A and B are shown apart, each in its own frame.
Chain A
């Protein structure tokens, strides 16, 4: 579990509260990226990549996970150009969003200089020449963003052929690598019958460069644990039993609303799709300090159909989470 570097106020101010209504269902909920969203507590969404107070801590955790388990990163051979394209695109996004600390300068035709002031890093490289970076380009850039990255190759379908994913919410990148988009989403209940995934797939296939889109997804996580990958299930799986037995104060401190802001970017050089997953977590005890969030999250959790709650892995404690939130506002559970 990550030790928290940010203040509670910071976490709340940047939290992308995901529920526009009292009822949650799967939908092809994509919108153009880059538009700032105001919340009762602050705002989110102005940039495709987001750096917050957890930057150093999350990058350290990612490096540690990759050291222990190299299967969290993979770039199939044909994805090498896409990996460079992703690195370049992410550097441009960082430089655009954080010009005072991040700069990308062109030195010559394919020669560039990248400066990441937050990490005290300066790197000159030749685009496409692997020998000019200290490591594989996708792993290298993934060490400088808080986002998980998946690259999809477009053939007849989209295939998840490269990525660095250390903060997976109950899935395994190492297991999914090389699978098609439709195969990866096979286990999600309802979405096939409702056509949500096939519509998303068609949308992604038509996505054009320089017009990124985004969506949110959510679940609950016990403890401030970014890495709830399938690989570590033996470590975090038992928490789902443990949490039912803790007292109310502990429950509100441990149960987090986990929100993913996902960006969908057609890379402009390789034509691959870059899928960014940025994970935010807020414990219920802090969520409840924003009245409209407290009330709405309680409604959504109470109403969520059982099959969806089961797939999200929260069926054993979502009722208690809803009651906890209602009680925190003085409502009847």
Chain B
């Protein structure tokens, strides 16, 4: 069992641009539990999109996700907003955990930007159950803050809310400079915001092992240079044009590669590399694995040179 059929039991627009869905098993049975910070990959009208779970992951009977409509995105969020109705059934993969709380953290410093608040909400639910010490900074556009009520309720009003970017940055720097030893930082939001928070933390001497981030999809990658990929199993060579991913090129030529997020996050489409130098653009492989150069994520990564060989 790796897929779930989920009934949409409720859908609300808590703030403009965001639709929150409640999902349950059609027969009402318990759903698989999930680690705080997990996401659900849902089939959205032909696309597979990953959405962070905002509900409690302990023996759940329902899941909730909040979807920001991205008008110029690939269409998945538009489908959730415009097409999907209460009473319909969606197909999802089992929840996946890539942004868990650290059990040994002395304190959890949680920083959220915009819709990036979603995994932070599930972290806060678990923190309440296990009485973990937290500090929350949440920055959002005035009137567009999703889950503000949840964040305030789960922190007894202690969460710091910011709607002014400059004020947020100043406050963040102070907060990062003044944490007890053993604090772990978790940040989720737009890529530029994550980079800013992490760079500020590094500048203040935070070790990498205490920094955790969840990026919801890469910002549009550049189309990349064309290259050739040789499939050593068959001896055929496939052209990967600019603007086409290696994964798409392989699929077009009839080579099935398991894949899920197609955004360089989930790790499903990892393929070995026999020759050539990969141009890594994913967020999944570790720095050591990227340096080894013997595997790449076919959905986003390309070739640094004119050709690659893969043992497929």
Contacts and interface: CB of A to CB of B under 8 A. Distances in A.
Interface of A: 78-82, 88, 106, 110, 127-128, 153-156, 206, 208-211, 266, 268-272
Contact of A153 (B33, B58, B104, B267): B104
B32 A268 contact: yes
Given A128-B129, A128-B130, A268-B57, A78 B97 contact: no
B107 to A, nearest CB: 13
Given A128-B129, A153-B104, A210-B32, A269 B97 contact: no
B119 interface: no
A271 B32 contact: no
B76 interface: no
A113 B100 CA distance: 29
B104 A127 contact: no
Given A88-B59, A209-B34, 17 more contacts: A78-B103, A81-B103, A81-B126, A127-B59, A128-B130, A153-B104, A208-B94, A209-B32, A209-B95, A209-B97, A269-B33, A269-B34, A269-B126, A271-B97, A271-B100, A271-B103, A272-B103
A211 B2 CA distance: 8
A155 B94 contact: no
Contact of B35 (A78, A88, A206, A269): A269
B101 A208 contact: no
A155 B104 contact: yes
B179 to A, nearest CB: 18
Interface residues of B, number: 25
B162 interface: no
**Residue from A80, A153, A156, A268 having most chain B Cβ neighbours under 10 A:** A268
B152 interface: no
A128 B104 CA distance: 17
Given A211-B2, A211-B94, A268 B34 contact: yes
B166 interface: no
Interface in B81-139: 94-97, 100-104, 126, 129-130
A155 B32 contact: no
B100 A154 contact: yes
Contacts of B130: 80-81, 128
A154 B100 CA distance: 9
A271 B96 CA distance: 11
Contacts of A154: 100
A156 B209 contact: yes
B49 to A, nearest CB: 18
A213 B94 CA distance: 16
Contacts, number: 61
A198 to B, nearest CB: 10
B103 A270 contact: yes
B1 interface: yes
B103 A82 contact: yes
Interface of B: 1-2, 30, 32-36, 57-59, 94-97, 100-104, 126, 129-130, 209, 267
Nearest to B2: A211
A174 B126 CA distance: 30
Contacts of A268: 32-35, 57
Contacts of A106: 30, 59
B103 A210 contact: no
Contact of A78 (B32, B36, B104): B104
Contacts of A80: 130
A211 B34 CA distance: 12
Nearest to A110: B58
A155 B208 CA distance: 12
A209 B58 CA distance: 12
Contacts of B2: 211
Contacts of B129: 81, 128
A239 to B, nearest CB: 40
**Residue from A88, A128, A206, A269 having most chain B Cβ neighbours under 10 A:** A269
B246 to A, nearest CB: 21
Given A88-B59, A128-B129, A153-B103, A208 B1 contact: no
Please name the 10 residue pairs, one residue from A and one from B, whose CB atoms are nearest each other, closest first. Answer: A268-B33, A271-B100, A271-B35, A78-B103, A78-B104, A210-B32, A156-B209, A269-B58, A81-B130, A210-B94
A250 B209 CA distance: 56
Contacts of A269: 33-35, 57-58, 126
A266 B100 CA distance: 12
A160 to B, nearest CB: 13
Nearest to B58: A269
A308 to B, nearest CB: 28
Contact of A155 (B30, B57, B209): B209
Contacts of B104: 78, 153, 155
A106 B59 CA distance: 10
A266 B97 contact: yes
A110 B59 CA distance: 9
Nearest to B35: A271
B58 A127 contact: yes
A155 B57 CA distance: 21
B103 A208 contact: no
A106 B96 CA distance: 25
Contact of B1 (A79, A81, A210): A210
**Residue from A78, A155, A271, A272 having most chain B Cβ neighbours under 10 A:** A271
A208 B33 contact: no
B297 to A, nearest CB: 13
A95 B151 CA distance: 36
Nearest to B209: A156
